[in-house]
Chain A
Amino acid sequence: MAPGAQRRTELLRGVLDLCLLAVMQEGPAYGYEMTKRLRDRGLAIVGEGSIYPLLGRLERGGLVETYRSASNGGPPRKYYRPSSAGRLALALGVSEWRAARDAVDAVLAPVKIEVAS
C-alpha cells in the first residue's frame, strides 16, 4: 500500500464506526448501501477493509438495531439503524473527533506545503 493510502487507512480506522453510525442515522441501510453512502462522500478508502466485521461489533455492543426487510423487490436484507446507545455514542464520538481535529489543525495549519519541481 502507498504511504499516503496507508496513512488515510490508519486515520479512518479510529472513526469508521462513527461514519457508519452517521450514514445509518440518515436512514436505515444494509451493508452495501452504507458502503455506497460512504463512497458518495469520498470515503472509497473503506475498500481497504470491510465494514462487515465492524457492523458485527456495533451489533454486539448494542449500538445498532437490525431488522430484515425486502429491498426494492430483491431478497430480504439486514437493515441497520443506530440504537439510543448508538446515537449517544455518535454524539460523543463526533465531539471527540472535532476536538482532536481542531487540535491537529492548530499544529499543522502553519505548515507550508512546498513541492519541489
Chain B
Amino acid sequence: MSDFVEQCRREWKRLQVPDPLAEEMAADLASDLREAEAEGVSAEELLGRSVFDPKTFAASWAAERGIIPAAPERRTRRRPLVLVAFTAVSALVVFVSALALATGQPQASIVATTRSHRPSAPAGFVPTTRHLVAQASLAAPVEWILLVLAILALGFAAWLWTSWNRSGPTRGLPA
C-alpha cells in the first residue's frame, strides 16, 4: 500500500499542496493503512473504490480540506459549453457540406462513356468499351474534404463526451 500513498503524495505535489500538509496527510494515511493491514482489513475496506484511483482520492481530500480549489465544479460548468459549441459547429459543417454535395452545381458525378477500343481496326469493325469516368468540378473536392473533416470532428467530439462523462463527478460517497 506504500505505492498508493506514494501516488497520493505525487498528486499532492502536482497540485501544489504545501509540503507540511501533504506530509501530514500521507503520514496519517500510511499509519491507517498499516494498522488496517495488521488487523487483516483490506485497503479496499478502508478506502472503498478510491483504492483504484489514488489521484482522484488525493485531489478530493485536498479539495475538501480547502487546500486546493474544487476542480470538478469548474469542469461541470465550463467544459460542456466548449464541447457543445464544438459538436454543434461540426454537425453544422457536416450538414452544409452534404447539402452542397447533394444539390449544388456543379457537383461530382459518374458518367458512362463509350470509346473506340482499337482505332486502327479495319473500317466497319470498331469494337467499343463502356467506361465509367468520375467527373468532379473544382468545387466538389473542397466540399468532400469539408465533409470528411467535419465527420472526423464529430467523432472526436463523441470521444470527448464519452471521456468527460467517465471522469465526471462521482455519484457515490466522497471519494
Contact = CB atoms under 8 A, between A and B. Distances in A.
Interface stretch (B42-50, B86-94, B129-137): B42-50
Interface residues of B, number: 28
A2 B63 CA distance: 29
B173 A13 contact: yes
A60 B64 contact: yes
Nearest to B32: A32
A21 B17 CA distance: 27
B48 A32 contact: no
A62 B66 CA distance: 12
Contact of B50 (A44, A49, A56, A57): A49
Interface string B9-40: 00000000000000011011101100110000
Classify the secondary structure of A's interface with B: helix
A12 to B, nearest CB: 7
Of the candidates B36, B62, B65, the one having the most CB atoms from chain A within 10 angstroms of its own CB is B65
Interface residues of A, number: 27
Contact of B28 (A9, A12, A30, A50): A30
Interface of A: 1, 9, 12-13, 16, 30-32, 35, 44, 46-50, 52-54, 56-57, 59-60, 71, 74-75, 77-78
